Amino acid sequence: MTAQVQHTGKHVAGLTIRLHPDDNVVVARQEVALGMALPEEAVTSRAQIPAGYKLATREIQQGEAILKYNVPIGFASRDISAGDMVHSHNVAFEEFDRDYRHAEGYVPVTPVPANEVATFQGIVRENGQVATRNYVAILSTVNCSATVARKVADWFTEERLVDFPNVDGVVAFPHSLGCGMEMTGEPMALLRRTIAGYARHANFAAVLIVGLGCERNQINGLLEEEGLDAGGRLQTFTMQAMGGRPRPSRLAWRPSRHCYPRPTASSASRSLPPT
């Protein structure tokens, strides 16, 4: 058989959700008791069906496709009566032909006029990203610099940020990885992708990456692998290059202060970008 996907809005009524008019199952929104009538489907439950499970809305013969979103999700391994719970005890998986046509129901829409486009009080970054907050992020490359990252963020109290009204706060993102692991492979790649994701987040007007110096997850390797460029909104700091772990205020005041968005900078001020 060939499966053809059609798009339609789901129908929620009573205790069940019908995802497509041609489906032969519905999904229980909440637990359906044995013998409970479901008038919206003209069927009575023949089992105790937990929330999230499927219920047959008509007779389904053995070998017939189970349709959800009008797509086969399996085949009846035995005859299924209307009102039965449909699950692994009566559904089997089989090979079948698939029709990969999609979006055939697409209908172009007319954009609303520019003066009617919804907007919000957002912050447009220089790279086109739109933010809702102006935070400075302190990231650590390794667990060994996690304490310093936290202390840097803690040092910047509301009193010390009073001269920077556009800064919503300074926040640290420590972790327990970055050393005692291979320098290549998926674990390191996953860690670096995650750190880079924070570094690129629109809600960070600026980012400081703090490294120890001898860790496996070296700052230069992180920047190169993730295509990050130090300078401007992204600053880096290596503890061992500064003689260890100095007083947090001394550590933070220099590189972190360069991260503050200027109150007049367009990329740090709110405007009205479209939603």
Does the pLDDT at position 33 exceed 50?
A: yes
Does the pLDDT at position 176 exceed 60?
A: yes
Which pLDDT score is estimated for 55?
97
Domain with CATH 2.30.130.110 in the chain: 2-98
Topology (CATH level 3) of domain 123-268: Rossmann fold (3.40.50)
Topology (CATH level 3) of domain 2-98: 2.30.130
Does the pLDDT at position 92 exceed 60?
A: yes
Percent share of the chain, pLDDT over 90 = 58
Does the pLDDT at position 2 exceed 90?
A: no
Average pLDDT score over residue span 18-26: 95
CB–CB of 208/256 below 8 Å? yes
Provide the 3-class DSSP secondary structure of residue 225.
helix
For 204-221, the pLDDT digits (tens) are 999 999 999 999 999 999
Domain with CATH 3.40.50 in the chain: 123-268
For 122-160, the pLDDT digits (tens) are 999 888 999 999 999 999 999 999 999 998 899 889 998
Which pLDDT score is estimated for 196?
98
